């Protein structure tokens, strides 16, 4: 039997969501290391900006993970 459109597209979307999650994680780590150097200089404004940016990146990562899991579960349900 030939796969439907969604059965063909969902694996690609799952991989893209996983790659996006990984990219946000790597970007967050790089940001933390770079901001840590500025914070070592004792700049309170840099520390506040780092905390805000770190929180925003964490939220993006959580959303991307939820999307990846949801797409993966949808893919499994359409497989059967």
In a domain, 6, yes or no: no
Please indicate, yes or no, if residue 51 is contained in any of the structural domains: yes
pLDDT of the residue at 53: 85
User: In this predicted structure, what is the pLDDT of residue 80?
Assistant: 66
The boundaries of the domain holding residue 25 are 17-79
Decide which of 45 and 78 is more confident. Answer: 78
**Does residue 3 form part of some domain?**
no
pLDDT for residue 2: 83
The answer to whether position 47 is within a domain reads yes
2: in domain: no
Full-model pTM: 0.77
Q: Is residue 1 part of a domain?
A: no
CB 61 within 8 A of CB 21: yes
Task: Let me know if residue 7 belongs to a domain.
Answer: no
Residue 70 has pLDDT above 80, yes or no: yes
Q: How far is CA 40 from CA 34, 45, 47, 56, 74, in A?
A: 10, 12, 9, 22, 46
Q: Is 5 left (phi over 0), alpha (psi -120 to 50) or beta?
A: alpha
Q: Which pair of tokens denotes residue 9?
A: 């597209």
- Condensed to tens digits (0 to 9), the pLDDT of residues 3-44 reads 888 888 999 999 999 999 999 999 988 887 776 666 566 677
- Asked if residue 29 belongs to a domain, the reply is yes
């Amino acid at each position: 039997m030939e796969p439907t459109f969604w059965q063909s597209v969902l694996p690609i979307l799952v991989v893209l969501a996983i790659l996006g999650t990984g990219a946000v994680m790597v970007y967050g780590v790089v940001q933390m290391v770079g901001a840590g150097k500025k914070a070592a200089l004792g700049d309170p404004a840099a520390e506040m900006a780092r905390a805000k940016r770190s929180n925003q990146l964490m939220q993006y990562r959580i959303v991307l993970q939820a999307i990846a899991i949801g797409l993966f579960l949808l893919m499994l349900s359409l497989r059967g």
